[in-house]
A and B are shown apart, each in its own frame.
Chain A
Amino acid sequence: MKKSILLFILLAVNTAIFAQNIFFTKTAKVSLDATPANPVEEIEATNNEASSFVNKETGDVVFAVLIKSFRFQKALMEEHFNENYMESNKFPKADFKGKILNLSKIDFSKDGEYQVEVEGTLTMHGVSKTVKAPVTFVVKAGKFSARSKFKLNLSDYGIERPAVVKDKINETATVSIDASYEPKK
């Protein structure tokens, strides 16, 4: 009897310790901006339903986002984004698998802002490419959030802009990420 209680406690403590290495969010905000220099209209979309996991012990980061959850200022833009550019029926999600490069820079036990870099593989529209982006981690009261901004070229991911829209959609899109993580239970 005594032994089984001890066993139970050990198991519980143990799992708790390990589980706390993994942080999670499913309400991360991902924004895309492909507005050209002389805009006809803003080409900008936001998705507030991105999921992400971070293992703060190993520095592993994963991100996944459904293409159909991006919201534009016009319904028709959204339809064209899904139908003509991202082909979201064929490629319903974009994901990222990577690692925090200078993990030792972040002290997860001390509140503050930490600048690091994350490198990994971004897969969207059926194309995988290595990306490297600066990320700001903000640690506060045992939790943390991450912000990042990086650019990508649409043509790198096989996203074509036909001649008629070349001056309406920028070739380079800016991706902004804002994610607040909670410990994974």
Chain B
Amino acid sequence: MHTLKWFFLFFLVPVFIQAQPDDLSKMMEEEMASEPVTDYTTATFKTTRLINAHTNEQVAGGVLDMRISHRFGAINSGIQNFFGLDQAGMRVALEYGIFDWLMVGGGRSTYEKTYDSFLKAKLMRQSTGNRSRPLSINYFAAWQTKTIPFADPNRTNYFTSNFFFVHQLIVARKFNESLSLMIAPTLVHRNLVATLNDPHDLFSVVLGGRIKLTRRMSLNAEYIYQLPGTQPDGTTNSFSLGFDLETGGHVFQFSFTNSPAMIERAFIHETRGSWGKGDIITGFNLSRVFTLKDPRTRGKKKSETW
């Protein structure tokens, strides 16, 4: 009799547990909570460039980005030059993601007939959840060389004299769906300088941000502060305003800037125009991506793909 009582008691307890109406939902909640996932922040900026400067965005592994950028003349050059549209500088480039964390690129600019190549790597990714990080950090390094004739052909000029090197740490944070900010301390090294007193190493800080106006359009701003000690004479700090328009595989960036060039050493340290005087240049960047490797099959043997 005693045993029978126990029997009923224990038979009933699980029935009550079982009869909870939201039983499975609760199980699901526990299941989803039991394996916390790391949620990496994506799309801090729309593309790899804010206006002139690099953002923390990289093209994904196996993706090729063809970029064509134009900068026209200054608006204050008047109707005679059709407000600057008569003259144009451009850069064409192919940029490729080797891995999701590493991209490389090469380009040619009309500005002083410059060739450039660069690599950009993700050091840290902003994330929430299991592995929480407040910021994204990327390392950017570039080699750039101009190929116009040397200013003084009688001097011993080396092939390497025209080289420039750029190192940059890009720190970015997406604060919310609309607002993202970035700061990028930058070092530009010039192999050849005009006089003995000119420094080879120039320091600057890129400050940038974007505000999304709609889901597919954002307003960007970028200011590059040259550290006073190494600012070349006669140069001004680069300031740019731009819009990103995104349509499928294209990103169209329309911009106003006082920098005629699209490579770091030039737009940071060789800008001479001033917004105050109306030396404002209109320009655009056009980006078209091509997926060369399907991200779902990358890194897998053919037999493993479904």
- Listed in ascending order, the chain A residues whose CB lies under 8 Å from chain B are 3, 6-7, 10-11, 14-15, 18, 21-22, 24, 26, 46, 51, 53-55, 60-62, 64, 66, 68, 71-76, 78-80, 82-84, 87, 89-90, 92-93, 95, 97, 162, 164-165, 168, 184
Contact = CB atoms under 8 A, between A and B. Distances in A.
A75 B295 contact: yes
A140 B63 CA distance: 43
Top-8 shortest CB links A-B: A75-B60, A74-B291, A62-B24, A53-B24, A84-B215, A18-B14, A83-B43, A62-B28
Interface stretch (B4-12, B74-82, B150-158): B4-12
Given A68-B39, A83-B215, A22 B24 contact: yes
23 contacts: A10-B10, A15-B14, A18-B14, A21-B18, A51-B31, A53-B31, A62-B25, A64-B28, A64-B32, A71-B295, A71-B296, A74-B294, A75-B60, A75-B62, A75-B291, A76-B60, A83-B215, A84-B216, A90-B177, A95-B28, A97-B25, A168-B248, A184-B27
Interface of B: 2-3, 6-7, 10-11, 14-15, 17-18, 23-25, 27-28, 31-32, 37, 39, 42-43, 59-63, 177, 215-216, 247-249, 289, 291, 294-296
Nearest to B177: A89
A62 B25 CA distance: 7
Contacts of A6: 3, 6
Contact of B289 (A14, A76, A184): A76
B278 to A, nearest CB: 35
Contact of B247 (A14, A72, A164): A164
Contacts of A93: 32
B18 A79 contact: no
Nearest to B296: A71
Contacts of B296: 46, 71-73
Contacts of A162: 216
Nearest to A92: B39
Given A10-B6, A15-B14, A73 B295 contact: yes
B21 to A, nearest CB: 9
Contacts of A62: 24-25, 27-28
A3 B3 contact: yes
B37 to A, nearest CB: 7
